[in-house]
Amino acid sequence: MEPESQPTGEPAGLSRRARAVVAAVAGAVATAVLVHTGIVFFYIAPSNVVSEKYATEIYDYMAPELLQNWALFAPEPLHVNRSLHARARVKTDEGTVNSEWIDLTAIDVAGTRGNLLPSHTRNQLRKGWRTFTNTHNADHEATSMTGLIIESYLKRVALMRMSHHIDGEITEVQLRSATSYVPEPAWSDRSTTDDVSYTVLPWWPVSEHDFPEGSRR
Amino acid sequence: MTETQRSWDAALAMGYERITRSALGTYQTAVVRIGVAGTWLGFLLREWPNRHELYGPEGPLSSDLAAQRVEDNGAFTVLLWSDSAWWFELSYVFAILASLMLLLGWRTRTASVLFMIGVLSVQNRNGFISDGGDNVLHLMAIYLVFVRCGERFSLDAMFRRRAGGSAGGRRGRRPDVAGVLLWSVLALAALTAWAFGVLGGGWLLVFAGLLAVHAVWWIVDRFTGGEPRAVCDMTTNLVHNGAVLVIIVQVCLLYATAGWFKVQGSRWQDGTAAYYPLQVDVFTPWPALSDAVSAYGLPILLMTYGTVIVQVAFPFTLFNRPIKNVVLACLIAEHIGIAILLGLPFFSLAIISADLIFLPTTLLRRVEAKVGGWSARWRGPARRRAESEADADDAEAAGDRTSDTATPAESLDRV
């Protein structure tokens, strides 16, 4: 190589050692950027031959702080209205009675209406239910640690919201989801059923410690 | 050696020179910093009345439940270091102050670490309620730690200008006592947390590393100057530029996969998808408006296809500046629409904040000039005279130094 065609990128005035350090750093940064963005790509892209083969390694790199999911409103946009209902088994003077079903999601809908800044509180039931279905089998039994935690969480959210409507001691609580399809657009030929489908969970026992701050005891 | 090879070599050399000698995109990273910190600050203040219900020790996700969850997934949160009420209040207020500190750009490099601690702590305390916006803030909080995001639009930049630039470091000037004090307190806090067994070894190592970086900077700034300082500066630039590239790729991947997953859905394919969320009760703050927007098939079709096209196309538009700017404007407009129509303000703000990394430098320069004009008028003519003298010093200093405040980066515009 002719001397005059040598790269002039090396900062003039820096010693050989300093230049070597900078070059090493440049190499390390370039490697880190490539590795990081590569792993992120395979983690968030649809499942493929690479991400399946290295699923564990990729997950170990991403978890817990880099986890991400951009399947927003996808592949299908949200197209159902889902409410969570709860009822309680209440000890009264006349014995044990079941309360009426109480619509817990109604609070979230009311809190959203006319609000420029709706609160994250409306994610408690909506996202909680999704986590619940992802971590339970068809018999509503938890299949993981997260499943057990989300059960307690949903129970406590329910108690917090329903305790104000119930007189007497709550000994058990039961949740159900009520799901109905959003009506198809008037301008389309499609039609859908107006039926509400229910998923009813088993009764869960309630103890003194299950009532979060803000509940009425 | 052919002519092509020679120009290729020259281009490579020039590129290497640029990424070592300067921090690229200082305007863009500054507005991303302001957007991200402002969004998170707004969220924390918005949820102030609900903070106990969402993240508190006696809330639905009690300390016990959250501790089990964190033990399971290994996420970082200071909120579980104690289950007392005062610790929770203290941590929440800390997260607010850290956001404010980063927003204003006061001791920005320290602020970005504290901000990350705040974001991770609050979000990881209850991941069950996090949405896509939280996810963006979470990632950005981590990336911003590696970025020189306080070079523009910050108190740091203002103080630096008043002090006459930072050429050659602080040698011969007042030592940064407050900085040393701040970092000593933080080091002590980290050590204490580790001694009490609440801070894991991995995170202790991360914080120790960050402390070491600051210590090295302080030493070369104050005592050595010259070559060691130049090497530190170049290292910092390289890390900054790498992190900026990561942010750019991250946002591109976000949009690309968001579009990629959408095209798999039948409703996105037949052009009706935009209709459905507008009819879901919890996403309709303004039902009459939602009904009006979704009343006709054609606008819905345009919105649906437009969303997919813009999301899938976005990464490729970076190769053409005018088209990139148009698509960027579309994405920002769409997210403003989502913020209002679907009642997702913080989600939209978070994504818009990340998008700001693609804003054109010329626009941000104009903003800077305007803001500078306002603040000069606000401070009055006497100060302005002093300021203009300082500016002259600054310009002079800028001529012979390596790059602390960096040559304004145009490169983001060119991609």
Split at pLDDT 50, 70, 90, the class of B403 is very low
Looking at the DSSP bridge assignments, the partners of residue A55 are none
Q: Kindly report the average pLDDT of chain B as a whole number.
A: 89
State pLDDT tens for residues B359-391: 999 999 999 999 888 877 877 655 555 555 444
B200 φ, ψ to 5°? -70, 160
The answer, yes or no, to whether residue B123 has pLDDT greater than 80, is yes
A217 touches chain B (CB under 8 A): no
Q: Identify whether B19 is part of a domain.
A: no
Q: What is the pTM of this model?
A: 0.91
**Overall average pLDDT of the B214-242 stretch:** 93
- Are residues B387 and B347 part of one domain? no
**Overall average pLDDT of the B99-108 stretch:** 97
A77: nearest CA partner in chain B: B273
In contact, A173 and A203? CB cutoff 8 Å: yes
Return the pLDDT at B393.
Answer: 42
In contact, B254 and A70? CB cutoff 8 Å: yes
Residues in chain A: 217
Return the pLDDT at B395.
Answer: 41
State pLDDT tens for residues B15-35: 999 999 999 999 999 999 999
- Test B231 with A18 for CB contact under 8 angstroms: yes
The answer, yes or no, to whether residue A196 has pLDDT greater than 50, is yes
- Are residues B383 and B348 part of one domain? no
Nearest by CB to B50, from A7, A75, A119: name it. Answer: A119
Give the three-class secondary structure for B169. Answer: coil
Cβ-based contacts of B231 with chain A (< 8 Å): 14, 18, 21-22
- Are residues B403 and B354 part of one domain? no
State pLDDT tens for residues B45-61: 999 999 999 999 999 99
The answer, yes or no, to whether residue A1 has pLDDT greater than 60, is no
- Structure-derived torsion over alpha carbons of residues B147, B153, B158, B159, reported in degrees to the nearest 10: -30
The answer, yes or no, to whether residue B73 has pLDDT greater than 90, is yes
Which residue, of B335, B358, B381, is where some domain finishes?
B358
- Are residues B284 and B205 part of one domain? no
How many domains, chain B? Answer: 2
Take residue B188 and report the two structure tokens written for it.
Answer: 């002590």
A175 touches chain B (CB under 8 A): no
- Are residues B220 and B139 part of one domain? yes
Q: Identify whether B1 is part of a domain.
A: no
In contact, B167 and B397? CB cutoff 8 Å: yes
Looking at the DSSP bridge assignments, the partners of residue A193 are none
Q: Identify whether B8 is part of a domain.
A: no
Report the alpha-carbon distance of residue A73 to residue B159 in Å, rounded. 45
State pLDDT tens for residues A52-81: 999 999 999 999 999 999 999 999 999 999
Return the pLDDT at A12.
Answer: 56
Return the pLDDT at B394.
Answer: 43
Looking at the DSSP bridge assignments, the partners of residue A96 are A91
Return the pLDDT at A7.
Answer: 42
State pLDDT tens for residues B155-200: 999 998 888 755 445 545 667 788 889 999 999 999 999 999 999 8
Cβ-based contacts of B264 with chain A (< 8 Å): 46, 74-75
Return the pLDDT at B380.
Answer: 66
Split at pLDDT 50, 70, 90, the class of B89 is very high
- Test A21 with B60 for CB contact under 8 angstroms: no
Residue with tokens 């394919």: B269
- Test B283 with A156 for CB contact under 8 angstroms: no
- Are residues B203 and B93 part of one domain? yes
- Tally A–B CB contacts below 8 A: 254
Q: Identify whether B2 is part of a domain.
A: no
Question: Which position has the higher pLDDT, B378 or B411?
Answer: B378
Report the alpha-carbon distance of residue B149 to residue B105 in Å, rounded. 8
Q: Identify whether B13 is part of a domain.
A: no
Residue with tokens 């207020």: B93
The CA–CA distances, whole Å, from A201 to A137, A138, B308 equal 12, 10, 38
Return the pLDDT at B222.
Answer: 85
Take residue B186 and report the two structure tokens written for it.
Answer: 């933080």
CA distance A51 to chain B (A): 14
**Overall average pLDDT of the B197-210 stretch:** 93
The answer, yes or no, to whether residue B5 has pLDDT greater than 80, is yes
What type of residue is B244?
Answer: V
In contact, B60 and A160? CB cutoff 8 Å: yes
- Are residues B193 and B133 part of one domain? yes
Return the pLDDT at B3.
Answer: 82
- Are residues B237 and B285 part of one domain? no
A41: nearest CA partner in chain B: B253
- Are residues B116 and B70 part of one domain? yes
Q: Identify whether B17 is part of a domain.
A: no
Q: How many CB atoms lie within 10 A of CB B309?
A: 13
In contact, A172 and A206? CB cutoff 8 Å: yes
Return the pLDDT at B207.
Answer: 96
ipTM over 0.95: no
State pLDDT tens for residues A20-43: 999 999 999 999 999 999 999 999
Interface of A with B in 87-116 (CB under 8 A): 105, 108-109, 112-116
- Are residues B283 and B381 part of one domain? no
- Are residues B339 and B376 part of one domain? no
Return the pLDDT at B396.
Answer: 39
Q: Identify whether B184 is part of a domain.
A: yes
- Are residues B261 and B237 part of one domain? no
- Test B294 with A185 for CB contact under 8 angstroms: yes
Cβ-based contacts of B282 with chain A (< 8 Å): 105, 108-109, 112, 122, 126
Report the alpha-carbon distance of residue B408 to residue A9 in Å, rounded. 19
Residue with tokens 């009055």: B380
Report the alpha-carbon distance of residue B336 to residue B324 in Å, rounded. 18
Tell me the residue range of the domain where B88 lies.
25-249+370-414
CA distance A46 to chain B (A): 8
In contact, B268 and A71? CB cutoff 8 Å: no
Domain spans of chain A, in order of start? 13-62, 80-210
Q: Identify whether B85 is part of a domain.
A: yes
In contact, B211 and B186? CB cutoff 8 Å: yes
State pLDDT tens for residues A123-151: 999 999 999 999 999 999 999 999 999 99
